[in-house]
Amino acid sequence: MSVVLVMVEHDRGALVPGALEALTFGRHLACDLGLSLHGVTIGSSADALAKQLGHYGAEVIHQAHHEILCDYGPQAWGETVAQLARSIEAAVIITTGTDSGNEVIANAAARMDLPMVANCTKLLPRQGLWELVRLRWGGSLLERASLDAPVKILTLAPNRFEATLEPGAGKTESFVPTLDPCLAQTVVRRRVVESKGISLASAPVVVSGGRGVKSAAGFAPLEELADLLGGAVGCSRVATNNGWRPHSDQVGQTGTRIAPQIYIACGISGAIQHWVGAMGAKHILAINTDPEANMVHKADYAIIGDLHEIIPAIVDAVRTAQN
Amino acid sequence: MNEVPSRANVVVIGAGIVGNCLVGHLARLGWRDMVLIDKGPLPNPGGSTGHASNFIFPTDHNKEMAVLTLESQRQYEEMGVNTTCGGIEVARTEARMEELRRRMTSAKAWGIEAKLLSPREVKEEVPFINEDIILGGFYTPSVSVVDSLRAGTIMREQAQEKEVLEVFANTEVLDLEVEPSPFKRPRIKAVVTDRGRIEADVVVIACGVWSPRIATMAGATIPLTPAVHQMADVGPIEILQKTGNEIAYPIVRDMDTFMYERQSAGSMEVGSYAHRPIFHRPDEIPSNAESALSPTELPLTQQDFDPQLEDALDLMGDILETAEIRYAINGLLSLTPDAMPVLGETVEIANLWSAAAVWIKEGPAIAQMVAEWMTYGYPHVCDPHGSDIARLYPHERTEHHIRARCGEHFNKTYGIVHPREQWATERGMNRSPFYPRQEALKAEFYDARGWERPQWYGVNKDLVVCYELETRPHEWDNRWWSSIISAEHLHMRDKVGMVDLSAFQIFDVQGPGVVDYIEKMTVNKCDRPVGSSIYTPVLTEGGGFRSDLTVLRLGDFHYRIVTGAFDGGRDEYWFRKNLPEDGSVQFSNMTSAICTLGVWGPNAQAMVSKLTDVDLSQQHFRYGKVKDVLIAGIPTTMFRVSYVGESGWEIYTSMQHGLQRWDALWEAGQQFDVRPVGMGVYGTTGRMEKGYLLMGAELESEYTPVEAGLARKGVKKADFIGKEAYLKARDEQPVAKICALTMDDHTDGTGVKRFPCGGNEPILTLDGDRIVDGKGRVSRVTSAGIGPSLGKFILFSYLPPKYAVAGTKLKVMYMNALFSVTVAGSTTLFDPENQRMKS
Amino acid sequence: MRILICIKRVPAPGAKIPLSDDGQEIDTTYLGFTTSPHEECAVEEAVRIVEKVGGETTVLTLGPPAAEEQLRYAVSVRANKAAHVVTDTTDWGPERTASALTQAIRSMEAKEGPFDMVFFGNESADSAGYQVGIRVATAMGRPIVNGIKEIEVGEGSVTARRQVDGGFEEYELNLPLMLGIKEGINLPRYPTMKGRLASRKLAVTPFETTAKCGGLSKIELFQPKEQTSNTVVLGHGPEAAAKVVDVLVDLGVM
């Protein structure tokens, strides 16, 4: 039991946001506990990542190879992590607290019949029993909990940790798990790319509308502004429930979590469910008639007034500036 | 965050319908430097206004509420936020049909167009109703829906445009500071908010369900409880969507199930007053941030609503069955122990006002009423005595009492409530020392703001046979009434009766400044010899009745004020408020120290004389005089007077001697056939035969002593409150006079004899038209009751001079039927020369 | 098609979640309860599938006696049957919950045959452990994929789509299977008045459980530090537009 194992999450060979942060976190933990840091990448599409991972302190990079691991498959990936963890006698298994990170690690934990903790923000390793803090309600509430398990399995809350460089051996080792062919059922069969332009989750600018927009048509100027800035349009739950926008545009606890350079929140009061999705933004500009709206309080910048007058004026100003 | 100003003339707390309309009305009346604050955001801070159903059914049996509702509807219309849609109250039972006929009568009184519909006619107006389960409907075309949030914004902005108002939303009140005063109540000094402190001359609490919490900060009480009213929005409904309107069909009140169905664009709002009473505490209501919807839109407790869903499906199953429940809440509203608003200056803290427990339907006019009250010292729009916060006694201000009474009346929101109906809860709070004797005599106790008063005595049943009295044929007329009252009346006129008057409210005022003080407060001259009594109106600045009461001069610097149980709170407030600043008059409330017994009738003098050496004859103890007399060894104060027109006294004793005095008089009275006599005689039959007027019935701030026939020949020299207006009224020709009318025939169209209850039944011309005087006041029955000694049924009403002539034939409407009446002229029909009292 | 939907009763809070003084639970004095949003959509999806291809839907919850309210709600929006693993009022951890649900599902299947599909929410709104469905599926040896926002039912198999950044991943699964459903797959219907009344008559099948606590134990709940920033008000109304351009330039997005 001498290894902290980090499953380095990737999407067909590209690291997902938070992957290096998880590796960094694993390194600090390994250091504190006097353990060594191993990473694992699943599928040969990720083999090329090994060098980069070495820069973040991994001593060993396990590269899992199997024909079933040709694309993402939560059960096959989970089984792979479980088998590797057993074989290297991992004491801790960590990954990113994304939907798929949580999914894979939950599968691994279920297969190992061990507890799993999603979205940790803090760990206090102790002898045997660990104390930790994790997100509830998407982060609007925190839980202090204790974890009693021979192997500690957890994911890290997004946007809470930093990645720092620290050279490690970065030795690669191939790992070939034994996988039941029926696990192939839950491997991605096909991918459908929606050419909607910039995706909400990765857009550098998100222009979002809420109750104050008042109608589906009211989103037109928001779309115009988002287009000009190479951004995406988002919305609050009110807009989805009223049928003004599709659910895929919803920013929030049950929608998309965003992390743009700037979030322009128009006519959004800032209910907690929405804030949870928006709080990853680096900067926030709130446009609201109510100077006391929650969103205004939480924003870096605010304009008080009617968004239906303000947004077109911003569109004009941006256009003039761009020309 | 913007800082609040450090000083203001008025701070209004609460930006719901009341607070907003109040600043608008105050601005119109010339107030400046006003600040309006609310804890929540604008335009909907999260109070009850934000989720109100916003509809107005104007008909109300209560005059004050009817006037305020009609005036509010007019103001909403003026603001352009009143959408007329019509409304129908439907009946599922015969008892309800009778109530609808009563509503027709009240509609007539207030000049509201209305008609009774057959089930088929209801169906024509509301095609989706199940007409098979209803017996009929009461249709009011002027029923409307208002935009109360918009109205509030308009009124607030009007004040802002005049530059007399600053508004601070999202501003929480943390404390109210008061300033002590050596001889008077503490006064309000400042409002402390999370944006700073505002020193203010006047502060108004218009915080709806939060009002008690804010009042407590200053040590004042605003007695109300937040209570749940459940409602759900169900839809979409095709027939409603097709109208393309916010509201196109009449609102239906399903009165017997205590529910309403109101179109709201493409869906139906279903509301209920049928569920169990659910109360909350003002200091526990969640904040805006902690609420899923808003602080006053709490999650629906579904099991309470389920039975109402079935009732709604019975009535409108065709459209409601497949409608989706999209929004359903336990909405909070404010209830008071007697279901009336709580308005006016708080009794505890000077210049701290309450404007709470107000519904949307009466909001703007109540705001006007409070604004006038603050400006002129008393409202002009109508008499406020039913809403005056000072009416409530200390025991009525407790959570215990509020919850008990609200629990009792909540399900009567759409109930059929008899004008004489008695409370079932919170009984026995105040009992006179005679209570055990009265119980033994089978007293039927009625409640008078906490006091248990025998209305009649079961032991007198034999007298009914003796005087061959009949009961009333209609159950409604007979309800809360007994022919024993008439029997007790006749016996008292023949022999002698004992009446418990311990509920009298007694205030002693003493001190070097007392003569000037009492003269300032009253119309009639009180600076008369010790031992005199003075019956006097107490006026508003506008010259209307604020009160009427009796003042006894007990010493050179000692007066005793005696007033009624229903007026004690308001009168105490008024007399205390006007105490001199210099402490030269001390006020003490002696009510719980003194008990009173009335002994009246031809045998009264002989009976009391048995117990005392004092000569009680008229020569030695004249009518209107007050004397200390030892009765069977008990010190008493005897006051020769009568409200029932017989010779006799009000006998005052210390509470601890009360029972002994009752027993002594009772024993002495046996040989004179003394009987216990209830308030039915004192308050109605005896009083009405003598033409004595009652505060809150005939006597209101809307009428002057001239109109009430209570103006004396001369006017005292001393200045008094309302003198200027009083002198003016005396110089003018009155446009109405109080009159007694007698019923010529009691038989209605179905051959049943009916007896009006005295609940604002309209007096009509022979053509059936309303009678309205030169000041716009309608002629209506203010009191009604049998005059057993006259053998006639008496009605009191103000009439314009051309009708106020003896012998004029008119009609009275009762239960939607017309009855012939004759004006008797003078109100004193029995012994007009007062020979019996003075013999 | 026989579909089971596992749902959870959760509070419906406002912008700030109030806690009990001891931090052990949410203070729900003034809060209503609802079905966790992903699961509400799962019920709707199951009902729609059955409306299309025939069959029967059963809702299963694990929770305190009051959780019956959520079962009745599901039936009021057209689920057919309901089963309830009744617990005390404490919050059960994910391992114990999964183990108890597995017991209940096994017992239901033993009586009435296997469920073709079992739906879970992607994660619960309150505790968000991201694992109950996966544990149940693992225990029962069934395929499971989370994050599903589209389902197409074929002959003996199902195509399930999961939204990822920029598009969809598609899975093809054979029955019987389990899925973790995500909000947005549909817009759930509201109960009708008739549906609501019908749900009052529902008979709920109770289950007892012997499931044991897992290794993760709650110590306490607490509020995160409130995040307010020193907001720079750029101005009032459209005049502020020029300043927005400056900000956008400064941040390097223009």
pLDDT tens for B9-54 read: 999 999 999 999 999 999 999 999 999 999 998 888 999 999 999 9
Residue of chain B with shortest Cα separation from A241: B326
SS3 A174: strand
Contact C16 B285 (CB under 8 A): no
Is pLDDT at B1 greater than 60 in this prediction?
A: no
C156 touches chain A (CB under 8 A): no
Confidence (pLDDT) at A78: 98
* In contact, A172 and A63? CB cutoff 8 Å: yes
Return the residue matching tokens 């980090």: A6
Average pLDDT over residues C165-176: 91
A221/B84 Cα distance (integer angstroms): 38
Looking at chain A, how many residues does it have?
A: 323
Average pLDDT over residues B609-627: 95
Return the residue matching tokens 């199997």: A66
* b/e code C8-46 from CB counts within 10 Å (16+ = b): bbbbebbbbbbbeeeeeebebebbbbbbbbbbbbbbbbb
Query: What kind and span of H or E run contains B194?
Result: none
> Measuring CA to CA, which residue among A222, A232, A210 is closest to residue A312?
A222
Q: Label the pairing between strands C2-7 and C117-121.
A: parallel
B612/B259 Cα distance (integer angstroms): 63
Contacts of B42 (CB under 8 A, 6+ apart): A290, B15, B153, B167, B169
A interface test, pick of B170, B171, B287, B288 with most A CB neighbours within 10 Å = B170
Structure tokens at B278: 């659910």
Phi and psi torsions of B531, nearest 5°: 100, 0
Confidence (pLDDT) at C164: 85
Q: In this predicted structure, which of B339-348, B765-774, B817-826 has the lowest mean pLDDT?
A: B817-826
Confidence (pLDDT) at A270: 82
Phi and psi torsions of C208, nearest 5°: -110, 165
Residues of chain B neighbouring C35 (CB-CB closer than 8 A) = none
Contact C13 B306 (CB under 8 A): no
Q: How many helices and strands in chain B, by DSSP H and E?
A: 21, 39
Return the residue matching tokens 């960094």: A24
Confidence (pLDDT) at C90: 84
A86 touches chain C (CB under 8 A): no
Contact A290 B289 (CB under 8 A): no
Contact A75 C144 (CB under 8 A): yes
Nearest residue, CB atoms, C126 vs list A75, A136, A309? A136
Model confidence at C227, in pLDDT bands (50, 70, 90)? low
A96 touches chain C (CB under 8 A): no
Q: What is the pLDDT of residues A217-237, one digit of tens each?
A: 999 999 999 999 999 999 998
Is pLDDT at B605 greater than 70 in this prediction?
A: yes
Q: What is the pLDDT of residues B702-759, one digit of tens each?
A: 999 999 999 999 999 999 999 999 999 999 999 999 999 999 999 999 999 999 998 8
Q: How far is A293 from chain B (nearest CA, A)?
A: 8
Answer yes or no: is the ipTM higher than 0.85: yes
Q: How far is B153 from chain A (nearest CA, A)?
A: 15
Q: What is the pLDDT of residues A20-65, one digit of tens each?
A: 999 999 999 999 999 999 999 999 999 999 989 999 999 999 999 9
Structure tokens at B106: 């009240």
Looking at chain C, how many residues does it have?
A: 254
Is pLDDT at B642 greater than 80 in this prediction?
A: yes
Structure tokens at C221: 């709940």
Residues of chain B neighbouring C192 (CB-CB closer than 8 A) = 321-325
Neighbours of chain A (3+ CB pairs under 8 A): B, C
Which one is predicted more confidently, B350 or A126? Answer: B350
Q: What is the pLDDT of residues C4-37, one digit of tens each?
A: 999 999 999 887 889 999 999 999 988 999 999 9
Confidence (pLDDT) at B185: 94
The DSSP symbol for B4 reads P
**By 3-state DSSP, what share of chain B in percent is helix, strand and coil, each rounded to 5?**
30, 30, 40
Per-residue H/E/C for A217-248 = HHHHHHHHHHHHCCCEEEECHHHHHCCCCCHH
Average pLDDT over residues A260-278: 88
The DSSP symbol for C190 reads P
Is pLDDT at A195 greater than 80 in this prediction?
A: no
* In contact, B253 and B88? CB cutoff 8 Å: yes
Nearest residue, CB atoms, A111 vs list C16, C138, C184? C138
Q: Is the dihedral of CA C191, C197, C202, C208 positive or negative?
A: positive
Confidence (pLDDT) at B290: 86
Return the residue matching tokens 């902005």: B157
C157/C172 Cα distance (integer angstroms): 7
Q: How many CB pairs under 8 A join A and C?
A: 269
Chain C, 39 to 58: residues with Cβ < 8 Å from chain A are none
Residues of chain C neighbouring A155 (CB-CB closer than 8 A) = 130
A234/A219 Cα distance (integer angstroms): 10
Chain A, 32 to 71: residues with Cβ < 8 Å from chain C are none
Confidence (pLDDT) at A198: 76
Return the residue matching tokens 């939204």: C163
Contact C127 A136 (CB under 8 A): yes
Is pLDDT at B638 greater than 60 in this prediction?
A: yes
Average pLDDT over residues B497-511: 98
Q: How far is A132 from chain B (nearest CA, A)?
A: 27
A103/A106 Cα distance (integer angstroms): 5
Q: What is the pLDDT of residues B655-714, one digit of tens each?
A: 999 999 999 999 999 999 999 999 999 999 999 999 999 999 999 999 999 999 999 999
Contact A292 B289 (CB under 8 A): no
Model confidence at B826, in pLDDT bands (50, 70, 90)? confident
How large a percentage of chain B has pLDDT more than 70?
100
Query: What kind and span of H or E run contains B498?
Result: strand B496-500
Is pLDDT at A196 greater than 70 in this prediction?
A: no
Contacts of C66 (CB under 8 A, 6+ apart): C9, C33
Residues of chain B neighbouring A294 (CB-CB closer than 8 A) = 289
pTM (two decimals): 0.90
B72/B369 Cα distance (integer angstroms): 11
Contact C190 B287 (CB under 8 A): no
Q: What is the pLDDT of residues B108-162, one digit of tens each?
A: 999 999 999 999 999 999 999 999 999 999 999 999 999 999 999 999 999 999 9
Confidence (pLDDT) at A20: 96
> Measuring CA to CA, which residue among A235, A238, A241 is closest to residue A266?
A235
Confidence (pLDDT) at A292: 74
Structure tokens at B592: 């719980």
Average pLDDT over residues B439-444: 98
SS3 A159: coil
Confidence (pLDDT) at A159: 84
Contact A300 C216 (CB under 8 A): no
How large a percentage of chain B has pLDDT more than 90?
95
Average pLDDT over residues B388-416: 96
Contact C221 A305 (CB under 8 A): no
Per DSSP, the residues of C6-58 read: EE-EEEE--SS--B-TTSSSB--TT-EEEE-HHHHHHHHHHHHHHHHH--EEE
Q: How far is A56 from chain C (nearest CA, A)?
A: 26
User: Could you tell me how far CA B182 lies from the centroid of its own chain?
Assistant: 33
B287/B657 Cα distance (integer angstroms): 54
Q: How far is A247 from chain C (nearest CA, A)?
A: 5
Q: How far is B42 from chain A (nearest CA, A)?
A: 8
Average pLDDT over residues C49-65: 97
Residues of chain A neighbouring B1 (CB-CB closer than 8 A) = 292
Task: Please tell me the number of Cα atoms within 13 Å of B69 on its side-chain side.
Answer: 25
Distances (CA, A) of B590 to A206, B389, B633, B653, B829: 74, 21, 22, 11, 35
* In contact, A80 and A64? CB cutoff 8 Å: yes
Residue of chain B with shortest Cα separation from A270: B289
Per DSSP, the residues of B388-409 read: BGGGS-GGGGSHHHHHHHHHHH
Structure tokens at A179: 């996988």
Model confidence at B246, in pLDDT bands (50, 70, 90)? confident
A116/A106 Cα distance (integer angstroms): 6
> Measuring CA to CA, which residue among B506, B501, B502, B659 is closest to residue B591?
B506
SS3 B190: strand
Residue of chain B with shortest Cα separation from C34: B299
Confidence (pLDDT) at B326: 87
Average pLDDT over residues B514-534: 97
C104 touches chain A (CB under 8 A): no
Contact B42 A290 (CB under 8 A): yes
How large a percentage of chain C has pLDDT more than 70?
99
Structure tokens at C160: 């399930």
Average pLDDT of chain B is 96
